[in-house]
Structure formats: C-alpha cells, structure tokens
Chains A and B, each alone.
Chain A
Amino acid sequence: MSDTLIDVVTAVLMIGGALMSVAAGVGLLRFPDLLTRMHAATKPQVLGLLLFLLAMGLQMRSWVLIPVLLVCWIFMLLTVPVSAHMVGRAGYRTKHLRRDLLSMDELDEVVEKAANKKAPGRNPTERPDET
C-alpha cells in the first residue's frame, strides 16, 4: 500500500472517531433525561476510541503495537458498561428519569411489589433481589 492511501484511510478513521464524539456531544445537549443521555455517552468511549486506535495502528506501521492497542480497547470495553450500569441504576433508583417519556416500564411493577412485600419503614427504592 502506498503512503498516500494509508494517509487517506487514517484521515477517514480519525474523522469518523471525531464524528462519534460530536454525536455524544449533540446527544448530551438534546436528549431529555439522564438515561437517554447515557446512550449517547457510550459512543465515543467505545466506537470512537476504536476508530482512533485503528488510525494510530495504521500510522505506526508496526505489528508489535497491535496487542497494546487491543489491550487498551478491551480495557475500555470492560469498564464502560460497569460504570454505565452503576450510574443508570443509581439514576433509576433515585428517580432521575422522566416517567412521561416511557411508553412502558416493566421494572416499576417489580419494584412496587417488592416494596409492598417488605416490612414498612424500609427504603422502597431498594432493588428487588436484596430482600
């Protein structure tokens, strides 16, 4: 492959990664509540980083580098859902979401049932499997 071709592919990858960041930014601005914004926030962390790392790998032109970049991406893959789940669960249990935006909520009934079953005086937003 010629150098100019590699440069063009790198440029496309970098612009794609930057577009994912812009998508997250626009999502943060325009989405109405916490949980919807979380969907937008996952993108630059997963796909955006993948595109940037691919661009790096292409520009460096060395095979030794690929495991290092892969480890970097897999580390991101392992941590992003954990923090997203923690923030999302905290947001749901502390009522940070707007009910009027939900067309259906199958968790609500379960939480209600668990709260009614429990002795009075305990926190009703506790998760159902902690009883």
Chain B
Amino acid sequence: MTSAVIIVGLLLGFAALCALYRIARGPSILDRVLAIDVLLAIIGGALAVDMAVNRHLDNIVLLVGISVIGFIGSVTVARFVTDRK
C-alpha cells in the first residue's frame, strides 16, 4: 500500500508539473484556463487518494467545490475572451 501511494504521488506530481508548465507558457488565456481545470482535477484526485488511504470523508465537499470553481472559472473566461489577431 505504501509503495502504491508513493507511485501515485510521483505520477500526480509529474502531471501537476506539466499542467503548471502549460499555465506559465500559455500562449492564450484559453490554454491557461484549460490547464487550470486539469490542475484542479489533479488536486481533486490527490484529495480522493488521501481520503481513500486514511479512510475519512472530510474532503468530499471540497472535491465538489473544486469542480464547481473549475466550471465557473472556465465558463466565465470563455464568455469574455476576445479575438486573436
């Protein structure tokens, strides 16, 4: 179990680094908002892993809250994005 948790942590960390690179690099605001969505999903996954390993349910509301934030954020940004070029 411990080794599995270490592997999962490494994989999630690598994925989060990739998403962070895309947030920093851009090139447009829509790419950034998409990468932020992925980063939020990765954080939600990490919360779920923590809950599964330590057998508690404290963060399940937080999990739903994170997905709401990602949803509202990307819809708002998509609404107000302007033409390129």
A contacts, CB < 8 Å to B: 7, 10-11, 14-15, 17-19, 21-22, 24-26, 28-29, 34, 37-38, 41, 44-45, 48-49, 52-53, 55-56, 58-60, 65, 68, 72, 75-76, 79-80, 82-83, 86-87, 89-91, 94-96, 125
B13 CB to nearest A CB, Å: 10
Question: Which among B30, B45, B82, B85 is the interface contact of A48 at CB below 8 angstroms?
Answer: B45
Q: Digit string of B23-61 for contact with A (CB within 8 Å is 1, else 0)? A: 000001011011101100110110011011101010010
Determine the interface band of chain B, counting residues with CB < 8 A from chain A.
35 or more
Residue among A29, A56, A75, A96 facing the most chain B CB atoms (10 A cut-off): A56
B37 x A41 contact (CB < 8 A): yes
Q: Which applies to chain B's interface (DSSP): helix, strand, loop or mixed?
A: helix
